[in-house]
Structure 1
Amino acid sequence: MLKIQVILLLGVLLWSFGQQRKPTIYIIGDSTVRNTDQEYWGWGSLLPEFLDTAQITIANHAMAGRSTRTFQKEGRWDKVDSLLKPGDYLLIQFGHNEGSRPDTTKQGYRGVLRGIGKDSVVLDWGNGRTETVYTYGENLRRFVRQARRKGAMPIILSMIPRNQWNQEGRVKRADRDFGLWARQIADEEGVPFVDLNEITAAKYEQLGPDAVKEKYFPGDHTHTNKAGAWVNAASVVEGLQAIQHPLAKYRKRP
């Protein structure tokens, strides 16, 4: 009887240890990562379709309309940072809401300084309230460094491509601005980079603009439907596999 009790106790302890060691993938980003999940979908909502959630937890903290600046300003990053544990992962994908000139107007409240430098600007919101705005790259740099302090492993992704095409029939890339800067920060900080922009753009080009519009973009040129989000989630996992990232081992088998 005592032997059975010892075996049961060991089993419970091993199960408890396994539960405690189950890592979490935290995702931060904008509406292309998490949306209303009605007409428009973000790829983060469909990532569980591709990864084995019996072995890893997925926590999608992305929020529509946010930039690297407002995600921090609203305290959303502080919440994620407080949850990070050693062995967790952090997927970072921003870029769609950063483009305006940073100021205190409705048009500029999400904007950041361009590039990856450490320059900044101080905005005066009145009533003694000020805000220091940094570059897109510096914001990514801060996410990466703070995550690492917690023992988490950050991964930077370039933004998904918009449904915009040039005269040569190719999807417009983000490889001269936000996609480039995301790659540069990943290289500088020595963290993995998934070129989601390029991977999905290549898929779009195989279909052509008319089919892409019909299949994936029910409204504007930025937000996809569920089918489009599925394509982007698949691209994320393919990108992880291409760089032989440890997260790829959690991919569900067909």
Structure 2
Amino acid sequence: MKQALKVSLFVAVVLLSSFILTKPADKPTLFLIGDSTVRNGQGKGDGGLWGWGSFLHEFFDTTKVTIRNEALGGTSSRSFFNRGRWQAVLPQIRKGDFLIMQFGHNDNGPLDDTARARGTIKGIGEETKEIYNPITKQQEVVHSYGWYIRKMVEEAKAKGATVVVCSPIPRNDWTAGKVKRADEAYGKWAREAAIASGAFFLDLNTLVAESYDKEGESKVRATYFNTKDHTHPIEAGARLNSAKVVEGIKGIKGLSLKKYLNKQAKK
């Protein structure tokens, strides 16, 4: 009886060990962070407006990668970083995960206004300015847009994540039949911050702008936006932006994230 029990225990241990050894590794997670153009409201079409992050999962094999849209409307690189949102995301990041970030739409504002106090110093430099923040009611040292981007990249990479920095999608603003681009401001600074921190760069602003220019101002205004908002697209516009993110991912040499695209997206 004792011998039979010993044999049973041995078999159980072998089976358990085999399960542990053959258990598939946990799926990596693709985290998305940014403002409302990545996730508007609750990410369910609040007010008929959408962020591109709400549709990105449609391009991926979600049996192999998990996608978490942690973007928060109204945030700049600064307010996302230092008002708790980044501190909530960072501990979730593990080795082998991915992070895509897109900021810039809300960085071009006052540093210390009573409504938002979310602006950043223009550029990617090391200059700072100490202010009294009327929202947090504390003194705060404000950094440049690029500083906050670099800081989040560095912290995510230290956790073992692969990071992609996107330039911000273009607004529905036009001059002489061409959509306004961000290649002399936040698009340029996003690229420079990505290079400086060793992240991949995805020029989403240019990819979307080229598509807009090809389709033309009238069609873009009628198809991708409503008449009351020049920043946040409706569903069709967000889907276009999401497809352009995927196009950018596929075009980045050495970015392993592309292997998790589904068969249709890989075509």
1:48 aligns with 2:88: no
CA contact (8 A) 2:81 2:152 kept: no
1:196 aligns with 2:193: no
Deviates more, 1:24-33 or 1:218-227: 218-227
SS at match of 2:99: strand
**Distance of 1:129 and 1:118 partners within structure 2:** 21
SS at match of 1:122: strand
Alignment-mate amino acid for residue 230 of structure 1 = R
After superposition, what is the alpha-carbon deviation per residue over 1:114-157, rounded to whole angstroms, capped at 9, x for unaligned? 00001111112479721111100000010011111111111100
Distance 1:11 1:223, change over 3 A: farther
Which of the residues 146, 158, 170 maps onto 2:178? 170
SS at match of 1:62: coil
CA RMSD of aligned residues (A): 2.2
Question: Unpaired runs of 5+ in structure 1?
Answer: none
1:253 aligns with 2:263: yes
Alignment-mate amino acid for residue 251 of structure 1 = L
1:27 aligns with 2:35: no
SS at match of 1:95: coil
**Distance of 2:171 and 2:77 partners within structure 1:** 19
SS at match of 1:91: strand
Deviates more, 1:196-205 or 1:242-251: 242-251
1:180 aligns with 2:188: yes
Question: Unpaired runs of 5+ in structure 2?
Answer: 1-6
SS at match of 2:195: helix
Match of 2:20 in 1: 13
**TM-superposed deviation, 1:220:** 1.0
**TM-superposed deviation, 1:10:** 6.1
**TM-superposed deviation, 1:101:** 2.7
Match of 1:115 in 2: 123
**Distance of 2:192 and 2:220 partners within structure 1:** 29
CA contact (8 A) 1:30 1:93 kept: yes
CA contact (8 A) 1:65 1:97 kept: yes
Structure 1 consecutive aligned stretches of length 4 or more whose deviation exceeds 4 Å:
1-11
Identical aligned pairs, as a percentage? Answer: 43
**Distance of 1:10 and 1:142 partners within structure 2:** 41
Q: How many residues align?
A: 250
SS at match of 2:124: coil
Distance 1:172 1:4, change over 3 A: farther
SS at match of 2:178: coil
SS at match of 1:97: coil
Query: Based on CA coordinates, which of the two structures has the bigger radius of gyration?
Result: 2
